[in-house]
């Protein structure tokens, strides 16, 4: 693999985040970036889980990194998988919220896990770019780059004030956008695999070097064959190991609306109405304590069944 050490030496850089094993969208984005003549790639985490064929996705990432100087940041999904590998006493079972993680974990090699382990959580390049998944402080912090969340928007403005570099690149929210203040910019590249931008286009970003030595961001929206990806979901073991979660992700891909969160909110509401505070909220993935009958009813109520 070619490691990117000096972004400033490049004219155009591609930025990719939150692929979530959507290899068809990843192929389309990489093809568009090749057409746009990128010279390097920055990857911001969450490369696998939730989708089928994680090895196919990882192969595409490695091929891209062999072709272009690249830099990889670890996402929260890679963190989940590493934690699970390091704690064999933690049991993942087929089921709505854990089944998709288990499906992916069973298809990883020791080399994959070592690769994830070597990825930093955050990195600051000497020429003015900071890359992370959530925020520089926490892998799962939500930064609002499109103004959609008032609480996250306040956190985002705090980060702009704290930044020592002019440009911060992040992912995690699956929303694409950018926010600027006092000569500093935070770019949310969006999600390649599960974009939350109310359409069926894969999202990514480009950085174009300017005459003053900085970078001007460009947000990309790339069409791809969403129905082929949904068919790949239905032909995989995900439909058996994580049925309701997978149905939500298929609708997420089809519409660009986050049906995963809709499902979580609805199933939590239904279970709370039935059990009140008796739902076990102490587990790593407490949603697994909710019986499948509630997941099925939640899917019906939000139109997945």
SS (HEC) of 220-289: EEECCCHHHHHHHHHCCCHHHHCHHHHHHHHHHHHHCCCHHHHHHHHHHHHHHHHHHHHCCCCCCCHHHH
pLDDT(280) > 70: no
Note whether residue 70 is domain-resident.
yes
Note whether residue 231 is domain-resident.
no
Q: Return the exposure string of 39-60: e unless at least 16 CB atoms fall within 10 Å of the residue's CB, then b.
A: ebbbbbbbbbbbbbbbebbbeb
Reported as half-sphere exposure (CB side, CA atoms, 13 A), residue 181 has a value of: 14
Note whether residue 64 is domain-resident.
yes
Note whether residue 193 is domain-resident.
yes
Task: Please measure the distance between the N-terminal and C-terminal CA atoms of the chain and give it in whole angstroms.
Answer: 44
Selection from 216, 145, 146 nearest residue 183 by Cα: 216
Looking at residue 12, the DSSP 8-state letter turns out to be: E
- pLDDT at residue 96 in the model: 76
**8 A C-beta contact, residue 144 and residue 156:** yes
Which DSSP helix (H) or strand (E) runs through 184? strand 184-189
- pLDDT at residue 283 in the model: 44
Average of per-residue pLDDT across 82-90: 94
- pLDDT at residue 285 in the model: 43
- pLDDT at residue 148 in the model: 67
Model pLDDT for residues 210-250, shown as the tens digit of each residue = 998 899 999 999 999 999 999 999 999 999 999 999 999 99
Task: Mark whether 141 and 285 lie in a shared domain.
Answer: no
**8 A C-beta contact, residue 284 and residue 92:** no
Given 222, 246, 276, which residue is the final one in a domain? Answer: 222
Place of tokens 């704690």: 87
Task: Mark whether 166 and 265 lie in a shared domain.
Answer: no
- pLDDT at residue 284 in the model: 42
Note whether residue 261 is domain-resident.
yes
Model pLDDT for residues 98-129, shown as the tens digit of each residue = 999 999 999 999 999 999 999 999 999 987 89
Mapping DSSP to helix (H, G, I), strand (E, B) and coil, where does residue 145 land? coil
- State the Cα–Cα distance between residues 146 and 175, nearest whole angstrom: 7
**8 A C-beta contact, residue 217 and residue 228:** no
Task: Mark whether 274 and 191 lie in a shared domain.
Answer: no
Across 80-89, 185-194, 286-295, least confident range: 286-295
Structural domain span for residue 193? 7-222
Across 12-21, 62-71, 86-95, least confident range: 86-95
Note whether residue 209 is domain-resident.
yes
pLDDT(282) > 60: no
Q: How sure is the predictor about 206, in pLDDT bands with cuts at 50, 70 and 90?
A: very high
The residue with greater pLDDT, 88 or 49, is 49
Task: Mark whether 98 and 37 lie in a shared domain.
Answer: yes
**8 A C-beta contact, residue 60 and residue 23:** yes
**8 A C-beta contact, residue 219 and residue 190:** yes
- State the Cα–Cα distance between residues 136 and 124, nearest whole angstrom: 9
- State the Cα–Cα distance between residues 302 and 238, nearest whole angstrom: 20
Given 222, 249, 281, which residue is the final one in a domain? Answer: 222
The residue with greater pLDDT, 19 or 1, is 19
- pLDDT at residue 158 in the model: 84
pLDDT(278) > 60: no
- pLDDT at residue 54 in the model: 98
- pLDDT at residue 279 in the model: 54
Across 19-33, 83-97, 215-229, least confident range: 83-97
Task: Mark whether 138 and 183 lie in a shared domain.
Answer: yes
Total domain count, the chain: 2
Model pLDDT for residues 243-277, shown as the tens digit of each residue = 999 999 999 999 999 999 999 999 999 988 888 75
Note whether residue 1 is domain-resident.
no
Task: Mark whether 27 and 158 lie in a shared domain.
Answer: yes
Average of per-residue pLDDT across 161-188: 92
Task: Mark whether 160 and 285 lie in a shared domain.
Answer: no
pLDDT(207) > 60: yes
User: Helices 292-301 and 243-255: crossing angle, nearest 10°?
Assistant: 20
Q: What is the mean pLDDT of the chain?
A: 92
Structure tokens at 248: 């939500």
Given 222, 252, 275, which residue is the final one in a domain? Answer: 222
Helices (H), the chain: 23-35, 54-67, 76-86, 99-105, 110-118, 150-162, 226-234, 238-241, 243-255, 259-275, 292-301
Note whether residue 227 is domain-resident.
no
Question: How far, CA to CA in Å, does 177 sit from each of 42, 44, 260?
Answer: 17, 15, 21
Selection from 45, 51, 50 nearest residue 139 by Cα: 45
Average of per-residue pLDDT across 169-189: 93
Q: How sure is the predictor about 150, in pLDDT bands with cuts at 50, 70 and 90?
A: low
Task: Mark whether 81 and 133 lie in a shared domain.
Answer: yes
- pLDDT at residue 88 in the model: 86
Task: Mark whether 63 and 158 lie in a shared domain.
Answer: yes
């Amino acid at each position: 693999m070619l490691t990117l050490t000096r972004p400033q030496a490049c004219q155009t850089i591609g930025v990719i985040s939150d692929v979530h094993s959507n290899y068809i969208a990843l192929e389309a984005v990489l093809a568009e970036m090749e057409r746009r003549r990128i010279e390097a790639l920055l990857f911001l985490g969450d490369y696998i889980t939730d989708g089928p064929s994680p090895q196919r996705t990882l192969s595409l990432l490695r091929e891209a990194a062999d072709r272009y100087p690249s830099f990889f940041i670890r996402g929260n999904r890679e963190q989940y998988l590493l934690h699970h590998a390091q704690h064999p006493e933690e049991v993942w079972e087929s089921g709505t919220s854990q089944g998709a993680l288990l499906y992916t974990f069973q298809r990883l090699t020791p080399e994959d896990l070592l690769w994830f382990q070597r990825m930093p959580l955050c990195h600051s390049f000497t020429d003015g770019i900071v890359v992370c998944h959530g925020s520089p402080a926490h892998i799962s912090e939500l930064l609002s780059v499109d103004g959609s969340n008032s609480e996250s928007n306040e956190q985002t403005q705090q980060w702009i004030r704290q930044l020592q570099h002019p440009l911060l690149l992040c992912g995690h929210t699956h929303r694409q956008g950018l926010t600027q203040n006092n000569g500093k910019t935070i770019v949310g590249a969006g999600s390649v695999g599960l974009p939350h931008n109310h359409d069926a286009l894969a999202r990514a970003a480009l950085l174009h070097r300017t005459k003053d030595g900085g970078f001007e961001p460009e947000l990309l929206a790339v069409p791809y064959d969403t129905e082929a990806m949904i068919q790949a979901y239905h032909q995989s073991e995900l439909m058996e190991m994580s049925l309701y979660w997978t149905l939500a992700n298929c609708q997420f891909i089809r519409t660009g609306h986050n049906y995963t969160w809709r499902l979580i909110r609805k199933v939590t509401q239904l279970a709370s109405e039935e059990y009140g505070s008796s739902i076990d909220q102490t587990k790593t993935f407490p949603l697994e304590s909710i019986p499948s009958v509630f997941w099925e009813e939640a899917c019906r109520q939000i139109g997945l069944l």
